[in-house]
């Protein structure tokens, strides 16, 4: 079997875009991957084509060999653009391998330990501005059965958070805790925006609200600052969305900074790297809560890997609020029932992209603008 063609599809995802990889073979088997990278889609699509030159005509089932080609042999091997391109291509290879054998990827990884994973809802709060808005928005995920939520209540606050910004953020957290009661887990995402002084002050003010975790209160590369936060806060600190390989994770595990990490199947370079990071985390008694903010192919790939991990604690889902056409993009849709996401059971990834739906929703150039005017966090919940 040989790779005969590699294409990317640029698809509108409502408040971001999806980039899917289509890998074709001379035996007619098509593999799907995803390399979505918010705001940098042109860069990652170009990287896919750069790697494709070296992959054409080769057997897609030799996954470890091709990962070596895309890392060691290519010299440039890390960072979000290159790793995300690798991730999309690697997922497609696994999809082809599973389809060629008629088995799910999780079977090839040693077999699944679970059929479903407890999930937390993200993006449910987009467009909320006041504490009352945030409290009211919780009705959507709770009605869908979610018992864990994550959100960013910090508005446009930056490195130095003013007293007014601190009070506003804490008020939103308090409103959500009151709305959901004591039994729903709450995670916060600071998106790496704060300096150490602001983060220390914030975490102290948040302690009464029994938080599940705070994600990226500092820049994820600030190991010494994160160590100070860990020593001074009772709230668990988590990170991982902006770590790109097991070498990045090694320093986090060895430092003892976190008890839960969030590797992204796309951004770490695919399913196999995600599985290896999970195995490393287990040795350090660290849990896995895989980051998952992209489209349905990435979600399927993530679930194939985490279904085999004994240390999975929870799974991120951008649901129930997302692009209305998301469930039409891939079949069968990935099901969430009573706050648990079901692991796809078909061969390969267990889902197939519908190209007609993908082409009906072409991608729209947009910037991420996380903390400025036009931020996706300010978008209405209606497309």
Q: 151 with 134: CB under 8 angstroms?
A: yes
291 as an active site residue: the answer is: yes
Per annotation, catalytic residue among 106, 191, 267, 331:
191
Q: Respond yes or no: is residue 331 known to be catalytic.
A: no
Tell me if 307 sits within 8 A of 343, measured CB to CB. yes
Sign of CA dihedral 294, 299, 300, 304: positive
Q: What is the spatial distance between Cα 206 and Cα 227, in angstroms, rounded to a whole number?
A: 18
CB 290 within 8 A of CB 316: yes
Cβ distance 156 to 351 under 8 Å?
no
Catalytic-role residue among 291, 356, 359, 361: 291
Nearest CA among 371, 362, 349 for reference residue 17: 362
Name the nearest CA neighbour of 321 among 169, 136, 144: 144
Q: Which of 300, 198, 286 is nearest to 243 (CA)?
A: 286
Instruction: Please give the positions annotated as active site.
Output: 191, 291
């Amino acid at each position: 079997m040989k790779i005969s063609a590699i294409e990317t599809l640029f698809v509108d995802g409502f408040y971001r875009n999806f980039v899917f990889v289509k890998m074709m073979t001379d035996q007619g088997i098509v593999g799907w991957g995803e390399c979505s990278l918010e705001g940098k889609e042109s860069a990652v699509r170009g990287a896919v084509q750069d790697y494709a030159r070296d992959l054409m005509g080769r057997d897609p089932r030799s996954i470890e060999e091709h990962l070596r080609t895309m890392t060691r042999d290519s010299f440039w091997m890390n960072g979000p653009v290159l790793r995300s391109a690798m991730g999309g291509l690697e997922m497609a290879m696994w999809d082809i391998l599973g389809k060629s054998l008629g088995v799910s990827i999780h079977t090839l990884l040693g077999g699944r330990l679970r059929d479903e994973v407890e999930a937390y809802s993200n993006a449910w709060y987009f467009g909320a501005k006041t504490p009352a808005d945030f409290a009211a928005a919780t009705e959507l995920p709770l009605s869908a059965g979610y018992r864990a939520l994550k959100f960013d209540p910090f508005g446009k606050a930056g490195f130095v958070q003013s007293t007014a910004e601190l009070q506003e953020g804490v008020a939103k957290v308090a409103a959500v805790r009151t709305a959901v009661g004591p039994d729903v887990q709450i995670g916060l995402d600071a998106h790496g925006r704060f300096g150490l002084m602001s983060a220390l002050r914030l975490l102290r003010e948040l302690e009464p609200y029994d938080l599940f975790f705070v994600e990226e209160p500092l820049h994820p590369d600030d190991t010494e600052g994160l160590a100070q936060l860990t020593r001074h806060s009772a709230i668990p600190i988590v990170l991982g969305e902006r770590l790109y390989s097991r070498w990045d994770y090694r320093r986090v595990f060895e430092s003892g900074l976190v008890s839960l990490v969030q590797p992204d199947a796309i951004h770490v370079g695919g399913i196999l790297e995600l599985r290896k990071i999970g195995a490393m985390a287990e040795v350090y008694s660290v849990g896995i809560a895989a980051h998952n903010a992209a489209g349905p192919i990435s979600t399927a790939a993530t679930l194939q890997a985490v279904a085999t991990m004994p240390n999975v604690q929870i799974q991120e889902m951008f649901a129930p609020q997302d692009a209305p056409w998301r469930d039409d993009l891939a079949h069968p849709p990935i099901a969430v029932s009573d706050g648990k996401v079901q692991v796809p059971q078909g061969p390969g990834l267990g889902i197939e992209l519908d190209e007609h739906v993908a082409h009906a929703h072409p991608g729209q150039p947009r910037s991420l603008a996380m903390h400025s005017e036009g931020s996706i966090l300010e978008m209405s919940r209606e497309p």
